[in-house]
Structure formats: structure tokens, C-alpha cells
Structure 1
Amino acid sequence: MHISRCPDVRPARWALGAAALVLLLPALATSAAAADTVDLDGVGYELRSPASPSLGAAATSYDPVGNDEHPAVTLPPSVTIDGRSVPVRAVGAGAFQDEGLEAVALPDGLTTIGNRAFEGNRLTELVLPPSVTGINGVRAFGGNALASIDLPGSMTHLGNSVFSENELTSIDLPAGLEYLGHGVFSDNALAQVDLPPALATMGQDVFQDNPTLGTIRFLGPAPEIIGGPENSPVARDDATTPRVEHLWRHGETSGLPQAFTWPTWYGLATEPLIEVDFVAGAATGAHLPESRLVPLDLGTPQDDAPWGTIVPDDAPPTPTAPGLLFAGWTTVGDDPSPWTYGQPLRADTTLSALWRDDSPRVAAIEVTASAARVDVGGTVTLAAEGFDAAGTSLGDVTDDTLFASDVATDVVAGDQVTFPTASSHTITGTHEASEARGSVVVEVVEVDEVDEVDGTDTADAPAGFVDDSGVSRGGTDGGDDGARPATTPVPTDTVAASSALPATGASPAVTVVVAVGTMLLGMALVLTARRAAAGRRA
């Protein structure tokens, strides 16, 4: 019996499965690729590393048709790819090249900008976020119309031709910028550029084709030049010939590996600058001028060294300090000396301010004494009042005044003078600060031991006793220092009349009344007696 076998269909099935898998592979690949990219407002984004989404996304393409804001474009800080939000970290090479853009807004968080990323557009201004610390992309913004660039303080390097072929007239470079590549600012319209102290390396022809460039100022040491001394870091074209300014301390005498030379550096005329600092000296709270960079431009190549100065017409504002007046400058160093505007300066210099007292100047003083006339052995207290040149009182200046007498035996102790001898004594006061002088005369008299009128001993006369001259001779209630209190002299005729009256103990006025009454009574008695006698005769 013949039994026939069915053919084995398993190989055919495997073949069909393999064929189906081959047909599905392109679709699977397309699906995987789609999962790593996204389009948003005309911009295509893709993961920088599908295996590491945390590295973020890069903008890699642009279609103006999908952007309602064209010719402006805004890149978001993050995009969603394959259901995950990832930061936008980069702009890929040529992503926006030649797309007619006039404005672009870049997000904080962006770190990388590729070759020719925005080349050939019509951008007029650019603000780079702080996250962009450098641009390595060749001609990343070349061939635009940029007139304004805001570089972040975090920027450390700019690559080759990054801003070439634009319309820049000025540029503010960050202090921490360390590297400038070949032709970074070539073909612009710059007038002056300050290169920061941190700049360490420069490429060739950084400022090529900037015929309006008049000055390049290096604020740090001479940088290393890529390509060696035969390649100019500034420009090789005949139209770009700026003056190179550099700090004097970074010149040939500095001993640095790279140093600026004078009078030329890489074929360009050089001008050393010295730094002039201003300090307050003895003043506190002073307002001082800011430091100056002074060009050493008054020498010739035949001189040992150039020199410069600050001319009076360009002098900084006058310093001020509380209670003081500025009196000039002096140099600081081993051999300080006065300095005025216009005098030569040959090296970095520190000038210290000189000051004088700002209080009103005493032009004259008036000296007074506590008594104009005293007994021998008496003491007076002196005072001095100051006056300015206009005669306005400046108040008491006794503490600032030295007193002296023209009589050698007088004892002067501060503002008090004691007189051992009788005569006219002239006391002179001298104001210490201004040397203004004033004087006063004090009469010193001998003490009369016996009163010449009645022989009464007046040495121990009571307070208020008045002698024939009308001057007080008695002691004072507060103790006798020999000084004579101010008194009103008593007329001598009144004194004589009162001394002829009986000693009644009454006051002089009462005594006079009694005397007049006695005289009238006597006259009345005489008149009565005469009338009585006449009556008897009759």
C-alpha cells in the first residue's frame, strides 16, 4: 500500500514571516525616529542623544511656513519629545541659515550654537542668555546686520568668524573673556574696542576689514597669538590700522613672556598707558576722583621712555572731605613730593590728597580782662574773642590763645595773670592757628596803708569803704584777690561835707536834713530874740 506524504510547509511559513518582518522594518524605524523628534512653530527639535534624554534637545531645522511669527522666531526653554519634557540646549549646524530671520529670542539654558546656525539672515540685534558661555560655531551669526550684541558676563570664548560681516560700531566684551578666534569681528564698522584683562589668546585678523577702527585698548597683558609673530592678531589689510593702547606695566620692561613693544607692536603704533590712582590721605569720608589711565604720548622713539600728564583743563573734580579743604596732591612712595596738574608722569602713580582745616579763619582777636585796675598782688582772668576778615564774631577763642605780659615778673597761668608789681601792664594774646593778636592794659596800683584825710588805717576797712579818690579800698565780700570792683566814684565835696557832720551813725542824707533843720532853728531863735528886744525898747 502506498502512502503519500503531505509536503512540509514549515519552511514556507518561515519565509513568509521573514518577508513580513522585512516589510515592517521601515515603518518601525520611522516610528522610532518620530519618537525622538518634534516640530513646534516651524522649528524641528531632536534629542541630542536618544540614549541620554537628560542632555536635552537641539533645534535642527526650520520651516517658515509653520511659524506664524516669521520673520521672528522664539526658541522655548523646553520641548516635549516622546512624552518627556526636555530642555532646549543647542542650535544645530545651519539650523536657521539663510531663512530671512530678522529677530531671534534664545532661551536661558541654551549652551551650544553650531556652525553657521544663524548665518545669512537679517538679524539687527542679539541677546545671548547667561547659559551661553562660549560660541564655537564658525560664522554662527556671520552675514547678518547686527548693530547691537549683548554678551553675558559668563562668556569666556568666541570662535572663528562668529560675528563677521555685520554692522557693529561698538562692542562691550565681558571681563572674563579669554579667547578670540580668527576673524571674530572682521568686516564690521567698529570705532574703538577695549579688550578685557582676562584675554589670553587671540587668533589672526580678529578685526580685519574694520577701516573705521581707531583704537584697540588692551587692559591686560599681551595675549598669545595663534600662528606666531608673523601673523597679525588685528588685521592684515592696509585700511585697518588702529592705534594699540596698553598698560605701561605690561610693556617691554615687564619681563613677561609676551610683552607689548614701543613704538610699534605687530606693525601698529603703540601708546603705553599709566594708571593714576587717587587716595584720601589723612581724611575720612572723602569723595575722590576715579582712577585715570593717562597716555604716555609725549615722548619720541629716541627718548629713554615716553611720558604723559593730566593737564589742568582735563583735571578731575576737586576732592572733598567733611570739615576739610583740599590743598593739593603729593605722590606716594619712597620719595613723596608735591604734584600739580601738568607735571610729567612716567609710571603708574598714586596721588594722596593734602588737606587744611575748613573752619572759619580767625583774622583778628579782642582780648579783655576781668578788671582794668587791680592792687599789687591781684589777679585778673583774661578772655579772647575771634573775628573773621569781615569783622564777624567767631565766638570765644580763649582756649586757642596764648597770653603773655610785657612785665617779666608777672605770673601767667593759662588765662590768668597775677601782678607782683605796680605799673601799667600790657597783656597780649596770640591765636595759635592764625597768629592773630590782641592786647589789653591793666593798671596795677600800690595799696595805701594810711588814709591821708583823717589818718585812719584803711588796710582793714570794711567792704565798700571809699577813699578820697573815689576808688574802693576795702575788702570784698567774696575775699580779697586785689582786684577792684567796678564802683561809682563819690564826689569829694560830698565826702568832705559828710565828714564834718557829727558822727550820728545816720546815713549822709539824714545827717544833711538834721543840719539844715538845726540852722533854721537857730535862725528862728535869733529872730525871736531880736523882736523881743525891740519890744522892750518900745
Structure 2
Amino acid sequence: MTYELIDAANPSQGASATDYDQDANPEHPHLALASEVEIDGQTVTVVEVGQNAFRDSDITSVTVPGSVVSVGPYAFAYNADLASVDLSEGLELIGTGAFRGGALVEVDLPSSLSRINPQAFFDNALTDIVIPSLVDTLTIGVFGRNALTHLDVPAHVTKIRERAFAENDLTLVSLPETLAEMGEGVFTGNPVLGTVVFFGPEPALVNQGTTTPGDGNPIAIDTETNPTIRFPWRHREDQATSGGFTTPQWWGFDSLPVATVTFLTWDSHIHATRFVPLDQAGAAAPWGTVPAWNMPADPIRDGHEFTFWHDLGSVWSPGDPVVGDLILSGNWVDLTWVQSIILTATPEEVTVDEAVTLSAEGFNSNGDSLGDITDEIAFDVPGDSTIVLDGTQVTFAEAGTYTITGRHAVTERPVSLEIEVRPASTNLPEDEDDDATVPDNEQATDVHNEATPTEDAEHQTLPATGTEIAPWTAAVGVLALVLGSLLVIASRRKRQVQALKP
């Protein structure tokens, strides 16, 4: 290889690779450029590959070191078997036709690259291409006559010149919102190109890289390339400030407005986006829809349950008409949010001066229990002096029906509970000795002793039937027996007295 100083008077500007002798290179057809060379006794950096330096030299692979800043016009052109190129970080410029007429199927362009001149990769076999972020212009025929099938032009590209992607196998093309200029026939010679999608307003048509308005077709100038143009509904002709896309055709190609449906999560971040062709005819305007099968998966949020999408509060469902750009927000159920409260008292039955404990259980909108939330309830101070409230303990000085009220501290939901207070139980005086009321009569005493209920009277049975009788039933029965005995005795005494009368 031949290297020459870029400026003989100033070796610090580096050297350029200018020529190649394949017979003098034992590694041929593989080529590796040096990053430093010695010229006139001085070590200098190789910063450039000169014009036509390795043109038509039968190489099959090449490695360009990171010291090289630019590759000159046609530097590696017309090497029909050149299938591998290793371009290192540091490269900034690829000249016109630099790799034209090769056999490249893929190439990794370094992120340092900022300019690719016209037809740099024309007539290769590239199936995919990633455009570095510093490249804002795709020049004339730069990737023409390759094997690209899909093209997604990145947002940093603002200009595409004439025939930049002509003669490929493109089926789908996406052009960014930032695209401001297009040249003539950018996609000429792509007979299977079905759709070209614009994400922004109509770009200006300019030719030959100038600002002179063009008069050719920006998509294709051949009749075999006939894609459908999809463009943003908001940029149709009657809404654009100047120009704009037209429908049903734009530059002679069928055109279809597309609405953007954006699905936002609870924190206003974009969860998903759907582009809806407005391909249905309506009385007022064309419309389309997002079918159920094309809906995004439900978003996930800790402690919440997703319920539906809505448009400013109106519930939106798959299949609903879309007539323009639409922003949908998610609706959520807070699984920790108290929707209802049950207030209870323990014990359930209470008497005067007996303490009752209040407790609250919360439930969410699904009816799921949130557990005890008593500490979140602020109970109202009783206005009744007969009620004493101490925390969650309540006592009542008088019998009656009382209502305890309060409010949930977070949701302000009111709570109330009605409590029935019974009088305190009173002990009846003990019965007097039976001997003081029963005559000192042996027969009466026997009857009384036989009928008096005992401590286990609840287990007594009727002699004849064996049926159990309750204690109070037994007591009534005993009283009846005693009264009956007294009547019998009184009757006998009366008869005896009458018998003694003269």
C-alpha cells in the first residue's frame, strides 16, 4: 500500500492511503489499513483513505482503523466480491461512491459518522441498514440498488434526496415526523412497496439537494411502484397551514388518513399507541376503530386494579368509532381504598354501666375486606351526658336506644351504629321460711315438703309421662298443691265444727 502525507510541509496533518499493489500484499484479498506509518523517517497517523485508492482491486474484505476520519470518493468502489467492511469509531465521512458496486450484505456504520455522500453504498446487497444518529441527510442514491425490504427512517433524519432508496425490495416504509424535505423518486423501482407511512406533515419537494422546488413525484417516477400513502389525519390538506396531504390521492397514489390512539397510564406515561386507518365512510367524516384483538394488554399498577379506558370520563371500548386523534386514560380501582365500613359493638347486648367496645372493618369496591380500620375512625363526641366515650370504649348511665356516629379520617365516609342499652339486672329479696306460712299441721307439712322445688328442679319429670318440666313450671305446680291442701283442710275443719254444733 502507498501512503502519502496530506501536507508535505506539515506532517502533523497525517497521511492518506492512496494506492494498492495486490501482488505485494501476502494477505490479499483481505486488506487491513495501518493506523500509523513511517514517512521520511517520521511516524505519522493515517487519517484518510484517498480517492480511488482501492478501486477495482479484487479485495474481499477491508478493515479501516479508528485513526481514519474520512473515506474518499470511490475509495473501495467496484470490488465485486467485497463482502465485509469493518469501519471503526472515529470515521466521520464516507465519500461519494466509496463502496459502490460491491457485495455487502450488511455494514455497521460507526456512531461517529455524520455524512454519507451520494451513492456511497449504491449497487450492493444490503438487507438492512441502521443510520447513525449524527446523519441528518440521506443523499442522492445513497442506498440505491440493494436488497432492503423494510425501512424505518429514524427521527434525526430531516432530508431525503432523489432516488435515495431506488431499486430495492421494499414492502413497507416509515418516515419520521421530522422529515422536512424529499427529493424526486425516492422509492423508484420498488415494485412490491405496499405502504409508505408519514408520521409528520407533508415534506417539501426539492431536487438536486437544493432548495429549488421540485416538480417530480417524491415517491416514485415509475409506474410499477404504487404504494398506499398513509398520513396523519391532523395533517390532511384542509387542516394544514400550508399544503398538506390530500385524499383520496396524494401525488397520484392512493392516500388514507390515519388517526393516532394513545393509551396513557395513571401517571400520564404512554402505555401503547395504535394507528387507526380511517377507512370507513361516515356521514360527517371517515372513521375507523381499534378492534379487540389489537388492544394493548391491560397496564399494571401496584395496589390497583385496571377497569377500563376512558375519553375524558366517557368509557371507551374496542370497536368504538375513532374519527380523529384520541388520547385514552386508564381507570383504576384502588384496592387499598375504603369504599364501605361496617361498625360493630362488642358485646352485642349491653346493660347500664357496662362497657362496650367499638370496632370497624373496611371493604374496597370489590367487596374485599381491608381488615380492621378502627384506628382510622374518628368517633363524634357524644352530646348526651349519659354517654361516656373513652377511645373505643363506650358506657351508658341510663337504659335506652343510642346512636354512635363517626367519620373515616381518609375518605370522610360517615359511620354510625345503634346500640340498645338494657336496665341493670336487680336481685329479688329472698323468700321467707316456708314454715312461717304453712300451718303446723302434719298433713300440710307433708304436702308442702313433697311439692317444694329443689335446686335441680330443671331436671324433674312428670311421674306419669316422664316429661321434663321447667323450674318455673314446677314452682307453679307446688303452689297449686299447697293451696289445694289448705282448702281441703279448711273444708274438713268446717265440717267438724258443724258436727259439734247442738
Inter-partner Cα distance in structure 2 for 1:392 and 1:177: 54
CA contact (8 A) 2:357 2:394 kept: yes
CA contact (8 A) 1:410 1:417 kept: no
Partner of 2:117: 136
Inter-partner Cα distance in structure 2 for 1:145 and 1:181: 21
Select the residue among 348, 359, 373 that pairs with 1:383: 359
Select the residue among 332, 356, 374 that pairs with 2:333: 356
Q: Quick check: 1:170 aligned with 2:150?
A: yes
Select the residue among 206, 209, 230 that pairs with 1:245: 230
Matched AA of 1:102:
A
Unaligned runs of 5+ in 2: 49-68, 208-212, 433-452, 456-502
Give CA deviations for 1:412-458 in whole Å, capped at 9, x if unaligned: 979666657646x597999989x9x998974512675x964489xxx
Shift of 1:235: 0.9
Inter-partner Cα distance in structure 2 for 1:126 and 1:361: 60
Partner of 1:179: 159
Using a 3 Å threshold, how does the CA distance of structure 1 residues 438 and 90 change in structure 2: closer, same or farther? closer
Matches within 5 A, 1:155-166: 155-166=135-146
Q: Quick check: 1:112 aligned with 2:93?
A: yes
Give CA deviations for 1:207-260 in whole Å, capped at 9, x if unaligned: 111112222222232211125564111112222112222223333244333422
CA contact (8 A) 1:367 1:429 kept: no
Matched AA of 2:325:
D
Inter-partner Cα distance in structure 2 for 1:80 and 1:429: 96
Inter-partner Cα distance in structure 2 for 1:51 and 1:111: 25
Select the residue among 335, 340, 348 that pairs with 2:317: 340
Partner of 1:478: none
Shift of 1:159: 1.8
Matched AA of 1:174:
P
Inter-partner Cα distance in structure 2 for 1:187 and 1:417: 89
Using a 3 Å threshold, how does the CA distance of structure 1 residues 70 and 428 change in structure 2: closer, same or farther? farther
Using a 3 Å threshold, how does the CA distance of structure 1 residues 84 and 175 change in structure 2: closer, same or farther? farther
Unaligned runs of 5+ in 1: 1-38, 456-491, 495-538
Matches within 5 A, 1:212-361: 212-227=192-207, 228=213, 230-281=215-266, 290-300=271-281, 304-332=284-312, 336-359=313-336
CA contact (8 A) 1:128 1:151 kept: yes
Select the residue among 96, 116, 120 that pairs with 2:76: 96
Equivalent position SS for 1:274: strand
Matches within 5 A, 1:364-403: 367-370=344-347, 372-375=349-352, 380-384=356-360, 395-398=371-374
CA contact (8 A) 2:199 2:232 kept: yes
Matched AA of 1:381:
T
Matched AA of 1:120:
G
Inter-partner Cα distance in structure 2 for 1:216 and 1:391: 51
Higher mean alpha-carbon deviation, 80-89 vs 120-129, is at: 80-89
Partner of 1:126: 107
Matched AA of 1:383:
S
Inter-partner Cα distance in structure 1 for 2:324 and 2:18: 55
Bigger Rg over Cα: 1
Higher mean alpha-carbon deviation, 70-79 vs 181-190, is at: 70-79
Q: Quick check: 1:445 aligned with 2:423?
A: yes
Using a 3 Å threshold, how does the CA distance of structure 1 residues 445 and 156 change in structure 2: closer, same or farther? same
Q: Report how many aligned residue pairs link the two structures.
A: 400
Shift of 1:388: 10
Using a 3 Å threshold, how does the CA distance of structure 1 residues 317 and 409 change in structure 2: closer, same or farther? farther
CA contact (8 A) 2:350 2:420 kept: yes
Q: Quick check: 1:85 aligned with 2:85?
A: no
Inter-partner Cα distance in structure 2 for 1:402 and 1:91: 79
Give CA deviations for 1:135-193 in whole Å, capped at 9, x if unaligned: 223x2222222223332111122221122111122344332112222111111111222
Inter-partner Cα distance in structure 2 for 1:394 and 1:135: 64
Partner of 1:503: none
Higher mean alpha-carbon deviation, 184-193 vs 164-173, is at: 164-173
CA contact (8 A) 1:409 1:421 kept: no
Inter-partner Cα distance in structure 2 for 1:79 and 1:291: 55
Inter-partner Cα distance in structure 2 for 1:337 and 1:63: 75
TM-score (norm 2): 0.66
Matched AA of 1:294:
F
Inter-partner Cα distance in structure 2 for 1:141 and 1:67: 26
Using a 3 Å threshold, how does the CA distance of structure 1 residues 78 and 290 change in structure 2: closer, same or farther? farther
Equivalent position SS for 1:249: helix
Inter-partner Cα distance in structure 2 for 1:199 and 1:175: 8
Using a 3 Å threshold, how does the CA distance of structure 1 residues 344 and 105 change in structure 2: closer, same or farther? same
Using a 3 Å threshold, how does the CA distance of structure 1 residues 388 and 198 change in structure 2: closer, same or farther? closer
Partner of 1:201: 181
Equivalent position SS for 2:271: coil
Inter-partner Cα distance in structure 1 for 2:214 and 2:315: 43
Matches within 5 A, 1:26-41: 39=1
Equivalent position SS for 1:313: helix
> RMSD across aligned C-alpha pairs, in angstroms?
4.4
Equivalent position SS for 1:127: coil
CA contact (8 A) 2:388 2:396 kept: no
Matched AA of 2:103:
R
Q: Percent identity among equivalent residues? A: 35
CA contact (8 A) 1:74 1:104 kept: no
Give CA deviations for 1:24-80 in whole Å, capped at 9, x if unaligned: xxxxxxxxxxxxxxx3xxxx4445555666665554444444444444444455555
